[in-house]
């Protein structure tokens, strides 16, 4: 049973949960318990919490948990949940300001309504802006860092830093951070002036494509592997005969071969074993070493 403490050290206003099951916070609906999980009341509250936190313990920031596998043994350290916390979204001059807890879908629709073009692709990303920044998420030919002007980060001491986009080296589904142990809390996006109706229609088309091609009826974490240059991971997995392959409750989706779905009783171990089997099989049969897109954290169940 999770224990809730409020007003930690008499200063913070968020909720601190002890031994909290991470299955509640990941889109795969699997994962062991986090030693402690904090849901901040806002940015200033997050700063206060970090200032009072033991700096020697690991810290993990989680948005929608849509690109994340938490092992069954759980997480030693502190998880900070950003979804539904940092959600400010507004126009600042010629730029769009969005905090890290804003969902990508909401961001896409907001930009369209403001007649800002270039953010429509966010509608196809099932996560928060913070996660999209951390992994340079993208779809349909556009990536997050293509539209970033600058960001605000926070470190373990609760200090905020505004950094220009050129301080980061963004590549396909990866971002090199200039400083260790900093996390994104907000970004300014530089978008072109466009037509609101045209952008809205583009978003509807992207969502229709996603619905038709992805297994949205079962828990998953999006694409399991990055697409290799000039090819698609889903094609390589499918021609390797893996569609529908199961380990425990984890299954290679029959709708999209680069998705692993939880059919109802999967464990994190099932999913991690299936990821390995997919990688090994594609390497053996197609001669291609797939690169994992899903981030895996936590401890194995002892």
Q: Which residues pair with 117 in a beta bridge?
A: 192
Integer Cα distance of 43 and 55 in angstroms: 18
Q: Which of 257, 264, 262, 190 is nearest to 225 (CA)?
A: 257
Query: b vs e for 203-232, b when ≥16 Cβ sit within 10 Å of the residue's Cβ?
Result: beebeeebeeebeeebbbbbbbbbbbeeee
Residue 42: both structure tokens together? 């806002």
Phi-psi region of 295 (alpha: psi -120 to 50; beta: other; left: phi over 0): beta
- Helix, strand or coil, per DSSP, at residue 80: strand
Residue recorded with tokens 């806002």: 42
Phi-psi region of 230 (alpha: psi -120 to 50; beta: other; left: phi over 0): left
In sequence order, the 6+-apart residues with CB closer than 8 A to the CB of 46 are 14, 40, 80, 85, 86, 154, 158, 185
Q: Which residues pair with 79 in a beta bridge?
A: 37, 60
Integer Cα distance of 269 and 32 in angstroms: 11
The CA-to-CA distance between both ends of the chain, in Å, stands at: 20
For this structure, is 226 an active site residue? Answer: no
In the set 150, 199, 223, 253, the catalytic residue is: 223
In the set 120, 143, 182, 293, the catalytic residue is: 293
Residue 146: both structure tokens together? 């293509």
For this structure, is 173 an active site residue? Answer: yes
For this structure, is 223 an active site residue? Answer: yes
Integer Cα distance of 40 and 70 in angstroms: 21
In the set 47, 173, 202, 279, the catalytic residue is: 173
Q: Which active-site residues does the annotation give?
A: 173, 223, 293
């Amino acid at each position: 049973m999770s224990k809730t403490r409020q007003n930690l050290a008499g200063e913070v206003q968020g909720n601190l949960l002890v031994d909290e099951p991470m299955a509640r916070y990941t889109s795969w609906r699997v994962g062991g318990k986090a030693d402690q999980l904090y849901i901040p009341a806002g940015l200033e509250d997050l700063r206060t919490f970090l200032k009072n936190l033991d700096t020697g313990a690991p810290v993990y920031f989680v948005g929608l948990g849509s690109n994340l596998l938490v092992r069954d043994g759980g997480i030693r350290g502190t998880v900070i949940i950003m979804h539904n916390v940092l959600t400010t979204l507004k126009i600042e001059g010629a730029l769009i300001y969005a905090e890290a807890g804003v969902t990508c879908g909401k961001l896409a629709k907001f930009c369209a309504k403001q007649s800002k073009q270039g953010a429509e692709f966010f509608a196809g990303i099932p996560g928060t802006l913070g996660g999209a920044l951390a992994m340079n998420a993208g779809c349909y030919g556009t990536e997050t860092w293509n539209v970033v002007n600058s960001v605000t980060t926070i470190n373990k001491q609760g200090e905020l830093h505004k950094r220009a986009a050129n301080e980061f080296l963004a590549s396909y589904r990866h971002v090199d951070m200039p400083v260790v142990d900093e996390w994104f809390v907000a970004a300014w996006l530089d978008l072109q002036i466009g037509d609101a109706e045209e952008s809205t229609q583009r978003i509807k088309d992207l969502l229709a494509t996603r619905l038709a091609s992805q297994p949205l009826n079962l828990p998953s974490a999006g694409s399991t592997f990055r697409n290799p240059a000039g090819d698609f991971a889903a094609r390589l997995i499918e021609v390797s005969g893996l569609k529908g392959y199961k380990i425990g409750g984890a299954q290679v989706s029959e709708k999209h071969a680069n998705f692993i779905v939880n059919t109802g009783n999967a464990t994190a171990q099932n999913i991690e074993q299936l990821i390995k089997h997919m990688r090994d099989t594609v390497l053996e049969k197609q001669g291609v070493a797939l690169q994992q897109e899903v981030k895996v954290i936590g401890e194995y169940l002892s």
